[in-house]
Every structure is written in C-alpha cells, then in structure tokens.
C-alpha cells in the first residue's frame, strides 16, 4: 500500500496504515517523537498502538541519540522459530500431553530454573561465547550486580504477558501441514532492571528538561551516560537472544524425544524491541525498533498474530523509507484492562477453539479479540515484506 505522512511533525513520520485510524494517544506520541531535534525520521508500522515510553509499532531513527524509555523495559524481546520435518499426521490427536511436557521443560510466568542452565548439556545449542558473555555481567551497572544469580537462573525461561511457545502447522503453500516450533520472549527481569535504572538517569539530564514527554528523554553520544546505557543495552539484547536460543533448543530436543525421526531447518531469530546502528539517507543513525522487526532485503523474520490466529514467516524487502522494518505482530486494539472488561472465559474458549492452550481468566487479556486483524496488518505492509509461510498454532503455552 505504501506510506502516508503524519501531519504536524518536524521530522518525517511515515505511516503504513490509515493515519486517521491511529488512536489519538498514539498519534500524539508519534508527533512528540517527530518533534525531537535528534530524530531523523520515524516509520510507523500497521500494528501501531499507544505504548509506554513510545508508540508500539514505531521505528525511530535518531542522530547521535537514543531514548531508553522508547526502547522500553523488555530489551531484546523477540521471536524464534524453526521448521521441522514433521507433519500434522505425526502429531497425536490429543495434544494436552505435549503441552504439559513443554510447560514442564520450560519455566513460565515468574518461574525460573532451580539451577542455572549449563549450555554444554543442551544438545544443539550454540556453545560459543557463553563464558565471555557472563564475564560481561561484572561490567554492567553496579546497581544490578546482586541480580546475577537470578539472571543466570532465568536463562531459558519464558516469562508472562504476551510471551508464548507454540507448535504450529503450515497452511497453504507448497507443503501444507508441516510442523513449526515458535516462541516469543525477551531479557526477563535483568533487562527490566537495567532499563528502569537508565530511564531514571535520562530523565534527570538537563538537556531533557523541556521535552513534550518526559518518557522521551534521551542519552547523547559522547557522554558517559550514553556509553553506560549502550554497554548495558547490548548485553541485555544478547541475553534475550541467548534466552530464546536455549528455549528453542530445549523445545527441539523435547520433540526429538517424542518423534525420533524429526529433522529441522535452520532456525530463524529476530528481535523486535531493540536498538541497532544503521545507515540511511547518507546518515549514521541509531534505530530503535519499538515493536518492529528488521526486514532488510532477503532477511527472514517472524510476525505472530495472537493465541488463536495465524502467524507469518516473512522475507524482508529492504525498504529504506521504512528503515528496513516491518510490524512485530498484529498489535493490540484494546488494553489489557479493557480486554478483561469486554471478554469472558467463554469468549476465550470460543476464539481459541482447536488450540490446546490455557482458557482461564488469567489469559483473557491475551484473547485474539484484543488484537488487530493480522491479515489486514499483513496487507498493509506488502512493500515491506513478502510472505514465506503462513502458520497456525495447534498448541500454545502462555506464562
């Protein structure tokens, strides 16, 4: 569909949805971001909605600056997926046992491992860099040093909220019925703790005194505050990547135990809440993807729907106007509180029919009806990505 421009901004704010359909709070956030003197431009994805710190579904390119609250507290949150050789015919008719096995193998919600994960004991997990990675903990903000034991025990854990693990079936295409494994998680408590400490520091800096929104406080390149944030940010993003890698390896091995014949393609992994150094329009920028994936030309990515709708494996189109990005999912159309007021457990059961998952009051806020229509979201970003596969969950594990 291409993009349109949001009116009333200093920097260009390019929108891949109907600008008039954006909720007023989110539009105000986007205009505030577009007014910042450090912003080169903003790309707004079709899953856009109001968020804490900055608009979810926005890609913010800044010159020599980054806003820690725009990145948010779940640093490095993202997706991993892998296609298997199994087909629907290989799965049992009753999937409850498979769901329980996943929940037993991977801690969810606030749970953590009793002992830290030993990467050497997990078949198929990349072994490189673990010792150097953990040595880096000692260089992080001194105020989180007491959290190392907890951070180690939370590697390989899912968390709660909108995080999930799914077993999916490929629909349509050349090989329908192929089984995929997919999961969504981030940097757990340590990412949150690091983010909150840096957000508080940024708000107190003099150059942020007159901003239209205190949540848009920035660090500037060449300052000790920026150096400290970037050090902790890069580490937390790597923690999130390794956390997902551990869970995916555990999940793949669990399936091997049940289906010895299984084989796997190369896994796909992508952050959708992070910062990267990139170059556009002749300018080096720090790109914050707040609920967006990188979609460089030919790069594979994952765009999930909700716990009762399909998801998409995509290939990036390398659209520079969109800062080589695409949406990170369907995007919420109502808040969690509103979803709880609007829907019942009966609604949840109806909307997740055919999916082996929780259907209790604790996950009503994640009901498919609380999210935008993923098919419409995909239709609005055809110039950002192409669809490689459409997959639909048959098992969904929530925190």
Q: State both tokens at 3.
A: 């993009």
Strands 268-271 and 273-280: unpaired
Angle at 272 between CA 266 and CA 278, to 5 degrees: 95
CB proximity list for 73: less than 8 A, separation 6 or greater:
191, 192, 195, 196, 199
What dihedral do alpha carbons 181, 130, 74, 390 form, nearest 10°?
Answer: -20
Alpha helices in the chain (DSSP H): 24-35, 68-71, 96-105, 130-135, 148-154, 188-203, 224-258, 336-342, 345-351, 374-379
- pTM of the complete model beyond 0.85: yes
DSSP per residue, 228-274: HHHHHHHHHHHHHHHHHHHHHHHHHHHHHHH-TT--B---EEEESEE
Q: Does residue 330 sit in helix, strand or coil?
A: coil
Question: What's the pLDDT at 1?
Answer: 56
Q: How far apart are CA 15 and CA 43, in angstroms?
A: 6
Q: How many CB atoms lie within 10 A of CB 286?
A: 23
CB proximity list for 93: less than 8 A, separation 6 or greater:
none
CB proximity list for 394: less than 8 A, separation 6 or greater:
88, 91, 95, 167, 168, 169, 354, 355, 356
Q: How far apart are CA 283 and CA 75, in angstroms?
A: 25
Catalytic residue set: 328
Residue with tokens 């399909």: 310
Greatest CA separation for the chain = 63
Q: Tell me if 326 sits within 8 A of 348, measured CB to CB.
A: no
Q: Tell me if 276 sits within 8 A of 53, measured CB to CB.
A: no
Q: Tens digit of pLDDT per residue, the chain (399 long)?
A: 589 999 999 999 999 999 999 999 999 999 999 999 999 999 999 999 999 889 999 999 999 999 999 999 999 999 999 999 999 999 999 999 999 999 999 999 999 999 999 999 999 999 999 999 999 999 999 999 999 999 999 999 999 999 999 999 999 877 899 999 999 999 999 999 999 999 999 999 999 999 989 999 999 999 999 999 999 999 999 999 999 999 999 999 999 999 999 999 999 999 999 999 999 999 999 999 999 999 999 999 999 999 999 999 999 999 999 999 999 999 999 999 999 999 999 999 999 999 999 999 999 999 999 999 999 999 999 999 999 999 999 999 998
């Amino acid at each position: 569909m291409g993009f349109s421009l949001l009116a009333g901004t200093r920097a260009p704010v390019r929108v891949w949805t109907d600008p008039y359909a954006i909720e007023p709070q989110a539009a105000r956030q986007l205009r505030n971001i577009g007014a910042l003197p450090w912003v080169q431009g903003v790309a707004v994805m079709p899953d856009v909605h109001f968020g804490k710190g900055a608009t979810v579904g926005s890609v913010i390119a800044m010159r020599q600056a980054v806003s820690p609250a725009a990145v948010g507290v779940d640093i490095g949150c993202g997706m991993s997926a892998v296609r298997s050789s199994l087909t629907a015919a290989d799965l049992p008719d009753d999937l409850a046992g498979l769901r329980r096995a996943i929940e037993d193998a991977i801690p969810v919600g606030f749970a953590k491992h009793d002992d830290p994960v030993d990467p050497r004991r997990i078949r198929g997990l990349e072994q490189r860099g673990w010792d150097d990675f953990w040595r880096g903990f000692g260089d992080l903000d001194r105020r989180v040093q007491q959290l190392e034991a907890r951070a180690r025990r939370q590697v390989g854990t899912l968390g709660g909220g909108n995080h999930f693990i799914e077993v999916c079936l490929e629909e349509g295409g050349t090989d329908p019925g192929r089984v995929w494994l997919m999961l969504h998680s981030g940097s757990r408590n340590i990412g949150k703790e690091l983010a909150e400490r840096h957000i508080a520091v940024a708000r107190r800096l003099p150059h942020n005194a007159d901003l239209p929104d205190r949540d848009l406080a920035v660090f500037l390149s060449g300052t000790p505050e920026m150096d400290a944030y970037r050090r902790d940010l890069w580490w937390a993003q790597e923690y999130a990547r390794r956390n997902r890698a551990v869970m995916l390896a555990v999940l793949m091995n669990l399936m091997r135990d049940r289906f010895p014949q299984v084989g796997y393609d190369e896994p796909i992994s992508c952050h959708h809440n992070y910062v990267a150094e990139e170059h556009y329009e002749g300018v080096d920028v720090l790109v914050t993807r707040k609920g967006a994936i990188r979609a460089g030309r030919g790069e594979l990515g994952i765009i999930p729907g909700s716990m009762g709708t399909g998801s998409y494996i995509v290939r990036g189109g390398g659209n520079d106007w969109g800062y080589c990005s695409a949406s990170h999912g369907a995007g919420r159309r109502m808040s969690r509180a509103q979803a709880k007021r609007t829907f019942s457990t009966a609604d949840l059961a109806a909307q997740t029919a055919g999916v082996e998952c929780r259907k209790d009051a604790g996950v009503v806020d994640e009901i498919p009806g609380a999210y935008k229509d993923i098919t419409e979201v995909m239709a609005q970003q055809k110039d950002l990505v192409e669809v490689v596969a459409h997959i639909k969950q048959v098992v969904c594990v929530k925190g």
